[in-house]
Amino acid sequence: MMGRLAPVGSTEGHLGVNERRHLTIDGCDSVELVEVFGAPVWVISEHAIRGNVARLREAFSRLHARTRVVYASKANPEPAVVRVAHDAGAWVDAVTMGHLRLLERAGVPPSAIVLNGNAKTDEELRWALEHRVAYVNADSPAEVETLARLQAPDAQPIAVCLRVATDPSRHTADDPAFAADELGSKFGMTEADVLEAARIVHDHPGLEFAGVHNHVGFPAYGIPYSAELDLRRHERAATQTAELAARLRAEGFPLRTVNLGGGFRVPKLHGFGPGGITDIPSVEAYAETIGGVLRKNALEDVELLLEAGGYVVADAVVLLATVLQRKAALHGGDDWIFVRDTSAYHFVRALMYGFRHHVVAASRMNEEPVERVRLAGPVCTDDSLAEGVLLPVLGSGDVVAVLDQGAYCESVTSDYCAIPIPAAVLASNGRAEITRRRESVEDAAARFELPSWLAPPE
């Protein structure tokens, strides 16, 4: 049974509790998952990914009939995750050649790929042109000129969208922190540059101007955040993009697409994101806000693309880890629970932004939380997985679950202190199989070489 867990039942939601009082993930017993696959291990719920894609598409389609979800693979480019999202009806975006190779491995056809990124190489652009991706989102006038150089005039035209930089002046008066953040952004073009780039694309017989692109992202990193601010930021960026799209159409450019990026998240009562945010807009609120902007600018006929990463996968993955030992606080405060071979450097945004991931006692779901503890790993610096978390009394071998690990955890993981990268498995209706093999200590060491003059004597 190594590397595989046989079906044991079904589930209606991707998280639950079974008769053994263990946490279940898409119908799989979390303790059994650890017994079969080891720990730490990321457990990906197919059920959750499919449900999130469907909810996002349905919410926006009610307000804008021609809506297409594009899974932003930078959030988690695991081929299994990409494949599930695509099977659920989403296109997929890529930012690098590495992403394109992972999408190939996942079996995503080029016709369902959107190529993004602010610094695309000739190799990446040639791949996009030769394989005929759905759209190339061009980020600068220089990139448009490169596309025009690489694409033969007699080639079948490739669709190009132009990314407009968010205009800080639209936010300065009452949202100065967001305006300052956008002022330093490396993404997109000024509106004047978009107009010039549109002419270059339009005049090249091998390129087709298709529309405009903007991406706000999840605007909660290092600046004030609330649901109201979030919606206001998305509304203003969408308004800027829609007004530019309408202007381009009025000047005679054919317009069939408006891509408004992503940045949406699934609200969680236990908190999510920097500081553990609980006040996150619903997907319906995002849809009403953005759909209203498109209607106001008479863009009901264009296809709306949504590049959603975090919304699709953030809550679909759980990191399972086992308790190694306890340690009493040396100078007061909460006691420590140390977990085996697990570090917050496996999901480094916890350290970069104070990103909160809720923790539960997966092997003791029937017990009331009775003590406040800190969870950490073996790294020789601060690597807190969670602080001030209420849990039952845990002992060596107990399984803990770190929730909401789907977005920007596995994709930006680190093997700091040579702690191997965890494995990953896909769980689906009570069955599970390996999707990423566990790295070993030997793997971590084997990447390095000594120069010949430093080699130890034989």
pLDDT in tens, 282-297: 999 999 999 999 999 9
218 assigned to some structural domain: yes
456 assigned to some structural domain: no
Q: Are residues 9 and 97 in the same domain?
A: no
Q: Which helix (H) or strand (E) holds 83?
A: helix 79-87
198 assigned to some structural domain: yes
Instruction: Place 12 in a pLDDT band, splitting at 50, 70 and 90.
Output: very low
- Is residue 10 pLDDT above 50, yes or no? no
Instruction: Place 381 in a pLDDT band, splitting at 50, 70 and 90.
Output: confident
Q: Are residues 188 and 279 in the same domain?
A: yes
pLDDT in the model for residue 273: 87
Integer Cα distance of 445 and 457 in angstroms: 19
Integer Cα distance of 198 and 201 in angstroms: 5
**Exposure pattern of 385-408 as b/e (b: 16+ CB <10 Å)?**
bbbebebbebeeebbbbbbbbbbb
Q: What are phi and psi of 162, to 5 degrees?
A: -115, 125
What CATH number should be reported for the domain holding residue 294?
Answer: 3.20.20.10
34 assigned to some structural domain: yes
Q: Are residues 88 and 228 in the same domain?
A: yes
For residue 163, which of 234, 103, 216, 109 has the smallest C-alpha distance?
216
pLDDT in the model for residue 405: 95
Q: What is the mean pLDDT of residues 133-155?
A: 97
404: left (phi over 0), alpha (psi -120 to 50) or beta: left
Integer Cα distance of 424 and 422 in angstroms: 7
Q: What is the mean pLDDT of residues 161-172?
A: 95
pLDDT in the model for residue 351: 85
Q: Among 281, 297, 313, which residue terminates a domain?
A: 313
- Is residue 9 pLDDT above 70, yes or no? no
Instruction: Place 3 in a pLDDT band, splitting at 50, 70 and 90.
Output: low
For residue 354, which of 272, 411, 409 has the smallest C-alpha distance?
272
Integer Cα distance of 31 and 40 in angstroms: 12
Percent of the chain with pLDDT over 90: 87
Q: Are residues 118 and 51 in the same domain?
A: yes
Chain segment 340-374, per-residue pLDDT in tens: 999 999 999 888 888 899 999 999 998 999 999 99
442-451 contacts at long range (C-beta below 8 A, 24 or more positions apart) = 444/415, 444/418, 444/419, 444/420, 445/418
Q: Which residue has the tokens 């990906």?
A: 44
pLDDT in the model for residue 125: 98
455 assigned to some structural domain: no
Q: Are residues 298 and 332 in the same domain?
A: no
- Is residue 149 pLDDT above 90, yes or no? yes
Q: Are residues 177 and 84 in the same domain?
A: yes
> With contact defined as beta carbons under 8 Å apart, do 384 and 376 qualify?
yes
Q: Are residues 324 and 338 in the same domain?
A: yes
Q: Are residues 359 and 270 in the same domain?
A: no
Helix, strand, coil distribution of the chain in percent, nearest 5: 35, 25, 40
Distances (CA, A) of 289 to 60, 221, 230, 393: 10, 22, 11, 45
Q: Among 295, 313, 331, which residue terminates a domain?
A: 313
Domains held by the chain: number? 2
Cis ω on the peptide bond leading into residue 40 (within 30° of 0)? yes
Q: Are residues 411 and 421 in the same domain?
A: yes
> With contact defined as beta carbons under 8 Å apart, do 37 and 319 qualify?
no
Q: Are residues 79 and 218 in the same domain?
A: yes
DSSP codes joined into one string, 304-367: EEEEESHHHHGGGEEEEEEEEEEE--SSSSPEEEEETT--GGGGTHHHHS-EE--EEETT-TTS
454 assigned to some structural domain: no
Percent of the chain with pLDDT over 70: 97
Q: Among 274, 295, 313, which residue terminates a domain?
A: 313
453 assigned to some structural domain: no
Chain segment 417-432, per-residue pLDDT in tens: 999 999 999 999 999 9
DSSP codes joined into one string, 241-307: HHHHHHHHHHTT----EEE---------TT-BEETTB-----HHHHHHHHHHHHHHTT-TTSEEEEE
Q: Are residues 206 and 261 in the same domain?
A: yes
Q: What is the mean pLDDT of residues 314-322?
A: 97
Instruction: Place 332 in a pLDDT band, splitting at 50, 70 and 90.
Output: confident
For residue 237, which of 255, 261, 257 has the smallest C-alpha distance?
261
Q: What is the mean pLDDT of residues 58-84?
A: 97
**Exposure pattern of 62-98 as b/e (b: 16+ CB <10 Å)?**
ebbebbbbbbbbbbbbbbbbbbbbbebebbbbbbbee
Residue type, 267: P
Q: What is the mean pLDDT of residues 136-162?
A: 97
pLDDT in the model for residue 66: 97
Q: Could you give the 3-state DSSP secondary structure of residue 149?
A: helix
For residue 237, which of 146, 167, 184 has the smallest C-alpha distance?
167
Q: Are residues 258 and 333 in the same domain?
A: no
If you average pLDDT over every residue of the chain, what do you get?
A: 94
| β strands within 95-218, DSSP E | 113-115, 135-138, 158-163, 207-213
- Is residue 237 pLDDT above 60, yes or no? yes
Q: What is the mean pLDDT of residues 210-217?
A: 96
What CATH number should be reported for the domain holding residue 343?
Answer: 2.40.37.10
458 assigned to some structural domain: no
Name the residue range of residue 282's domain. Answer: 47-313
> With contact defined as beta carbons under 8 Å apart, do 238 and 293 qualify?
yes
- Is residue 8 pLDDT above 50, yes or no? no
pLDDT in the model for residue 382: 85
- Is residue 2 pLDDT above 70, yes or no? no
pLDDT in the model for residue 5: 58
Q: Which helix (H) or strand (E) holds 33?
A: helix 30-37
Q: What is the mean pLDDT of residues 237-263?
A: 96
